Amino acid sequence: MKHKLLITISTLALTVVACQSKPKELMETASDKPVPPVEKVEKSEAEWKAQLTPEQFRVARKSGTEAANGKVYKQFKEQGAGTYYCVGCNAELFSSNEKFDSRCGWPSFYDPANAKNVKAITDYSGGMVRTEVKCAVCDAHLGHVFKGEGFNTPTDKRYCINGVVLKFVADK
């Protein structure tokens, strides 16, 4: 029993040392996919401002909305197969498999790829009641979800998402 415990502890210690000795940039680029967060991400406003562009900060942290039909939307329409991650914390949010052209001027998906990383809350801002979509890991404002608009999709939902809060990684 002591022998098995010693082997387990030694293996664990070597794993920790190996992970710590790997340069941070190699850990982040070991694969093309962003390193997903392990737990809830919380940062100060100053830390978010240092990490994000001013537009990403305005949208993700202050619940803003990017302009419709902008450069990011045009890029979104040209992107092929891949996965969309949160720009704030690298949580997987959407897959190109659920992407569709709703012609609304913002990236649209009919279903989150990884439901545990996307949450919906009631939004009473702007004198209306809507359903806000947020990253479940870092609370970034992503956009809104609309139901029953008659789109020919399996869910009849439109996750209308600000493109500046998405990080696209193409499939290989």
Give the distance between the most distant pair of CA atoms in the chain.
67
Cβ atoms 145, 159 nearer than 8 A: yes
As annotated, the active-site residues are 160
User: Which tokens is 163 given?
Assistant: 């493109």
Asked whether 114 and 171 are in contact (CB, 8 A), the reply is: no
Helix (H, G, I), strand (E, B) or coil at 118: strand
- DSSP annotation of 36: P
On whether the CB atoms of residues 111 and 123 are closer than 8 A, the answer is no
DSSP bridge partners of 158: 146
